[in-house]
């Protein structure tokens, strides 16, 4: 297990370095620059700005300088929001996305798992069709339709929640619901698929033949294997859920991290793009690693190989 | 297996607790509550990029700075063409209007209680002219005697045309006669910054100097910084040591940075805002028709036009450019696409007091076709296919499509549309890497020059490759002219040359439709759209409005 962990750790660092390098050079290849504004910047001012952020040096020098400061844990200041450190921007925004994402995850699992299990157990009944139709609608409804629909109903019509903003303790409900319902739909379908496959296997038939009660078969014997596709899906999805969604944050005007992923690219904020991409890459690598461990624990076959 | 069964709920619980522990942002406040507590809730639509007054360059920052700082004079509360006393209680000019003397208030203080003196202006203007500050508006101060020279490091700071005669007397020497200097001095670039605070926290020009942090920022305006929540809002509160604090009616202003017009409109309807920044395009006609008491529509000092790359093929020909300008049905664009009561533009400069507008272009198809035929493209035959460059913006796309159809129908020429990310779009224009581009310009200050100066040869915002000696000469003449009326007529002549040559095709003068809560008293219609927060007020309880009760919920 130690060798496995160390090997994966080295792999993870390699992946992050590659992502860092590719991002660094790709953003420099795109047209546009961080100092473009509606009013042209006088050449003298531009020179000062370029010097300030080291953009006047050769690209390869900039690369190693940036890499060096990342290794020292310095994620550099933002080029668009001048006077702001990227670390502060991320530190302010990440907890908000994390909070909304976590609640969304709870909603997604809380609705998706039971729906999927019931649909699988009551295969081809009205319950199965009902849940699966709902799930299909959930998958097809994009967040930018779901979000405003929830706002219209709960915000403007019934006035139970704020329509946007991050002020009150209840402000996570609508965004989390918007995100959670869509993930719930995926999870329900994946759970159903996984469960059906396991329920048809020999060891389940054996258990039934031995007289094990139906509920125990489903919850103990089948669920463990049936959850495998969900876990495999959730691992990488977790990184996406917790770092926020651009669209949801836009609709609900949340100061989360999701908007930075997109707006930093539009702004050509070189240093912030790099910081957010490296963060996402790290999260993805970590969640993938955790998924692997979890899958190994859920599925003895993986452990054996 | 029991492990799994207990693990999942535990994991959920852990995540939920984490979620609830993550604190929510600021205090919620409704429009009704705001009216009661005299806190104005307004959306500025973008995040401030800088809070360092002298680095500011956007409209958003300008609005915030209007609450935190004050210059020698400030804009008149009633009219765009005059000023009223600010930090200076009175002023006088020499006969040729090139030397100005300002008397600074004796009771003026910084918001931390430190006395405010004429030396603060001297130090601030010297800082503004330091190249390493990287301030985009340093150029504004080039009209100070030796301003440009100091910027270029050719003279010493002491030689700059500003001097504190004593603690309360400031003498300003300009490069030439400038009768409208007080109006210019309303611009943020001329305002003071607190030397004692900046020097306390770091190097004068260091962009990472933390003096603009929420707990450190010091100003001299009617309000002072209270809370700065990045990407949520900036809240300012009454500054008790402001010289005119007794007459400031509001106790605070909260500036939101909500980008989406749809979101701010929803917030307004839910009773969470006093004033929106705009109104979703599709909802403007309905608001104007059904809720005229809430929707305020007014022309703002902005001009929208097509830039033409005059270095490209057929576009080099002035006849082609004029033909394109004559073939635009501006009223139809306004009535059918924009629908917010904009004004058709026959020239570059919007209506401004005292200025004779140039109305060169309106729909004139025979003339357009004649010019195009003369240029060698009768009925558009053989006309190369050019592209209209726009940024990724829905209004711009709709407008470009309408124009595309108009030119096709009226002149028989086909143009394409190319859409680029905003920063790329800007860069393309600056590098003359486009054919035609859709652009707009907001006035920097209330003077026609702000719309005309930009087209001078090699001007940083010209971006058309167009250059005309006669035009440049007129601009130089206007700058040297001490007689205000004569200066304006020279500017009209310059604009006539610009329109005759048509490196730019004017389309319309902008309007803004804002949703204003009934509690807001005296939302003045101002061309520059600047808000003088110290003069604004909220009424409590708010009067009823044509909208439903949602506006006034608790």
Per-residue confidence (pLDDT) for residue B444, from 0 to 100: 77
The CA distance from A51 to the nearest CA of chain B, in Å, is 10
Of A38 and B516, the structure prediction assigns the larger pLDDT to B516
Cα→Cα distances B345→B280, B326, B394, B409, Å: 23, 12, 21, 21
Residues of A in contact with B553 (CB under 8 A): 159
pLDDT at B1 over 60: no
- What's the pLDDT tens digit per position in A65-108? 999 999 999 999 999 888 889 999 999 999 999 999 999 999 99
A86 vs A78: CA distance, rounded Å: 5
Which of B76, B79, B81, B72 is closest to B488 using CA atoms? B81
Who's near B430: CB < 8 A, 6+ residues apart? A36, A40, B463
The neighbour count for residue A13, using CB atoms within 10 Å, is 12
The CA distance from B547 to the nearest CA of chain A, in Å, is 13
CB contact under 8 A, B422 and A266: yes
Mutation target among A28, A34, A38, A300 for the B interface, most CBs of B within 10 A: A38
Token pair recorded at residue A218: 């489903």
Q: Is A212 exposed, middle or buried (0-12, 13-18, 19+ CB in 10 A)?
A: middle
Q: For A102, which of B15, B51, B426 is closest by C-beta distance?
A: B15
Who's near B181: CB < 8 A, 6+ residues apart? B93, B97, B100, B143, B172, B174
Residues of B in contact with A223 (CB under 8 A): 4
Task: Please give the average per-residue pLDDT across B22-48, as a whole number.
Answer: 84
A86-304: in CATH 2.10.240.10: no
Who's near A283: CB < 8 A, 6+ residues apart? A238, A239, A242, A243
pLDDT at B438 over 80: yes
B162 vs B72: CA distance, rounded Å: 13
Per-residue confidence (pLDDT) for residue B549, from 0 to 100: 61
The CA distance from A168 to the nearest CA of chain B, in Å, is 6
Per-residue confidence (pLDDT) for residue B548, from 0 to 100: 66
Token pair recorded at residue B93: 């000019």
For residue A23, report the phi and psi dihedrals to the nearest 5 degrees.
-60, -45
Query: Any idea which fold B299-511 has?
Result: Dipeptide-binding Protein; domain 3 (3.10.105)
- What's the pLDDT tens digit per position in A152-201? 999 888 888 889 888 888 889 999 999 999 999 999 999 999 999 999 99
Per-residue confidence (pLDDT) for residue B2, from 0 to 100: 46
Q: What is the DSSP letter of B437?
A: E
A283 touches chain B (CB under 8 A): no
- Whether the CB-CB separation of B182 and B170 falls below 8 Å is answered with no
The neighbour count for residue B476, using CB atoms within 10 Å, is 13
B163 vs B125: CA distance, rounded Å: 11
Domain B59-210: state its class.
Answer: alpha beta
Helix or strand or coil: residue B441?
strand
On the question of a cis peptide bond just before residue B157, with omega within 30 degrees of 0, the verdict is no
DSSP H stretches of helix in B157-260: 181-184, 195-201
Q: What is the DSSP letter of B473?
A: H
CB contact under 8 A, B131 and A48: yes
- Whether the CB-CB separation of B278 and B261 falls below 8 Å is answered with yes
- What's the pLDDT tens digit per position in B264-305? 999 999 899 999 999 998 899 899 999 998 998 888 889 999
The CA distance from A38 to the nearest CA of chain B, in Å, is 7
The neighbour count for residue B13, using CB atoms within 10 Å, is 11
DSSP result, B217-246: ----SSEEEEEEETTTEEEEEE-TTSTTGG
Torsion of CA B18, B22, B23, B25, to 10 degrees: -140
The CA distance from A263 to the nearest CA of chain B, in Å, is 11
How would residue B22 be classed by pLDDT, with cut points 50, 70 and 90?
Answer: low
A8 vs B31: CA distance, rounded Å: 54
B21 vs B36: CA distance, rounded Å: 31
- What's the pLDDT tens digit per position in B394-431? 889 999 999 999 999 999 999 999 999 888 898 899 89
CB contact under 8 A, B4 and A38: no
Cα→Cα distances B521→B45, B64, B242, B254, B368, Å: 22, 20, 22, 17, 48
Torsion of CA A99, A100, A102, A107, to 10 degrees: 140
The neighbour count for residue B330, using CB atoms within 10 Å, is 20
Per-residue confidence (pLDDT) for residue B281, from 0 to 100: 84
A77 touches chain B (CB under 8 A): yes
Q: What is the DSSP letter of B102?
A: E
Q: Where in chain B is the domain with CATH 3.90.76.10?
A: 59-210
Q: Where in chain B is the domain with CATH 3.10.105.10?
A: 299-511
- Whether the CB-CB separation of A158 and A85 falls below 8 Å is answered with no
CB contact under 8 A, A159 and B26: no
Helix or strand or coil: residue B356?
coil
How would residue B547 be classed by pLDDT, with cut points 50, 70 and 90?
Answer: confident
Token pair recorded at residue A182: 């869509």
User: Which residues lie across from B223 on neighbouring strands?
Assistant: B238
* pTM reported for the whole predicted model: 0.89
- The enclosing H or E element of A297 equals helix A270-298
Task: Say yes or no: ipTM exceeds 0.95.
Answer: no
CB contact under 8 A, A31 and B151: no
Q: What is the DSSP letter of B47?
A: -
Helix or strand or coil: residue A224?
helix
- What's the pLDDT tens digit per position in B125-181? 999 999 999 898 998 999 999 999 999 999 999 999 999 999 999 999 999 888 889
């Amino acid at each position: 297990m130690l060798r496995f962990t160390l090997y994966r750790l080295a792999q993870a660092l390699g992946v992050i370095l590659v992502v860092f390098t590719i991002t660094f050079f790709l953003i420099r290849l795109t047209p546009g620059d961080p100092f473009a504004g509606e009013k042209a910047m006088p050449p003298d001012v531009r020179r000062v700005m370029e010097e300030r952020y080291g953009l006047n040096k050769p690209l390869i020098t900039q690369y190693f300088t940036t890499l060096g400061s990342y290794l020292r844990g310095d994620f550099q200041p933002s080029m668009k929001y001048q006077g702001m450190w990227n670390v502060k921007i991320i530190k302010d925004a990440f907890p908000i996305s994390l909070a909304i994402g976590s609640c969304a995850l709870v909603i997604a699992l809380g609705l998706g798992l039971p729906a999927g299990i019931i649909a699988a157990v009551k295969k081809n009944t009205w319950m199965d069709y009902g849940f699966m139709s709902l799930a299909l609608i959930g998958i097809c409804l994009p967040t930018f339709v779901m979000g405003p629909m929830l706002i219209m109903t709960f915000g403007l019509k019934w006035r139970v929640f704020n329509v946007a903003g991050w002020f009150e303790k209840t402000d996570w409900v609508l965004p989390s619901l918007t995100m959670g319902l869509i993930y719930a739909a995926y999870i329900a379908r994946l759970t159903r698929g996984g469960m059906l496959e396991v329920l048809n296997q020999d060891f389940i038939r054996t258990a039934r033949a031995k007289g094990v009660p139906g509920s125990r078969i489903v919850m103990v014997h089948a669920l463990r294997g049936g959850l495998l596709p969900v876990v495999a899906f959730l691992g990488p999805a977790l990184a996406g859920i917790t770092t926020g969604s651009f669209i949801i944050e836009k609709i609900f005007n949340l100061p989360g991290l999701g908007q930075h992923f997109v707006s930093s690219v539009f702004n050509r904020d070189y240093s912030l793009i790099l910081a957010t991409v490296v963060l996402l890459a790290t999260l993805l690598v970590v969640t993938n690693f955790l998924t692997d461990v979890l899958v190994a624990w859920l599925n003895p076959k993986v452990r054996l190989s | 297996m029991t492990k799994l069964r207990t693990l999942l709920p535990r994991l959920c619980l852990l995540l939920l607790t984490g979620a609830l522990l993550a604190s929510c942002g600021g205090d919620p406040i409704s429009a009704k509550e705001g009216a009661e507590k005299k806190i104005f809730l307004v959306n500025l639509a973008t995040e401030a990029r800088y809070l360092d007054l002298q680095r500011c360059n956007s409209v958003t920052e300008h609005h915030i700075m209007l609450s935190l700082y004050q210059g020698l004079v400030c804009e008149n509360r009633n009219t765009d063409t005059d000023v009223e006393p600010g930090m200076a209680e009175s002023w006088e000019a020499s006969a040729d209007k090139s030397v100005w003397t300002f008397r600074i208030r004796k009771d003026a203080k910084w918001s931390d209680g430190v006395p405010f003196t004429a030396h603060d202006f001297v130090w601030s203007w010297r800082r503004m002219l330091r190249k390493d500050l990287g301030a985009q508006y340093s150029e504004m101060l080039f009209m100070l005697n030796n301003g440009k020279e100091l910027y270029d490091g050719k003279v010493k700071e002491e030689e700059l045309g500003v001097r504190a005669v004593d603690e309360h007397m400031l003498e300003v020497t300009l490069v030439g006669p400038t009768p409208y200097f007080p109006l210019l001095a309303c611009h943020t670039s001329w305002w003071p910054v607190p030397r004692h605070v900046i020097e306390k926290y770091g190097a004068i020009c260091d962009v990472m100097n933390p003096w603009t942090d929420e707990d450190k920022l010091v100003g001299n305006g009617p309000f002072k910084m209270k809370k700065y929540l990045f990407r949520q809002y900036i809240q300012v509160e009454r500054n008790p040591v402001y010289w005119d604090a007794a007459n400031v009616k509001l106790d605070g202003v909260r500036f939101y940075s909500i980008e989406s017009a749809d979101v701010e409109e929803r917030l307004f309807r839910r009773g969470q805002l006093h004033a929106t920044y705009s109104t979703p395009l599709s909802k403007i006609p309905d608001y104007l028709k059904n809720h005229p008491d809430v929707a305020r529509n007014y022309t703002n000092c902005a001009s929208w036009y097509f830039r033409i790359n005059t270095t490209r093929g057929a576009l080099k020909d002035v006849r082609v450019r004029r033909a394109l300008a004559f073939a635009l049905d501006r009223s139809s664009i306004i009535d059918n696409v924009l629908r917010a009561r904009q004004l058709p533009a026959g020239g570059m400069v919007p209506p401004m007091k005292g200025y004779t507008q140039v109305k060169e272009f309106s729909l004139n198809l025979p003339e357009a076709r004649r010019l195009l035929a003369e240029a060698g493209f009768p009925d558009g035959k053989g006309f190369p296919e050019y592209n209209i460059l726009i940024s990724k913006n829905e209004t711009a796309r709709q407008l470009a499509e309408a124009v595309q159809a108009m030119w096709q129908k009226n002149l028989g020429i086909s143009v394409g549309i190319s859409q680029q990310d905003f920063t790329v779009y800007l860069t393309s224009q600056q590098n003359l890497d486009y054919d035609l581009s859709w652009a707009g310009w907001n006035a920097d200050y209330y003077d026609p020059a702000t719309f005309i100066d930009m087209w001078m040869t090699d001007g940083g915002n010209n971006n058309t490759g167009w250059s005309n000696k006669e035009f440049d000469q007129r601009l130089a003449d206007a700058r040297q002219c001490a007689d205000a009326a004569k200066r304006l007529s020279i500017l009209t002549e310059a604009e006539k040359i610009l329109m005759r040559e048509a490196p730019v095709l004017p389309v319309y003068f902008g309007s803004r439709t804002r949703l204003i809560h009934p509690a807001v008293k005296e939302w003045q219609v101002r061309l520059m759209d600047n808000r003088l927060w110290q003069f604004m007020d909220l009424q409590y309880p708010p009067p009823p409005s044509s909208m439903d009760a949602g506006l006034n919920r608790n």
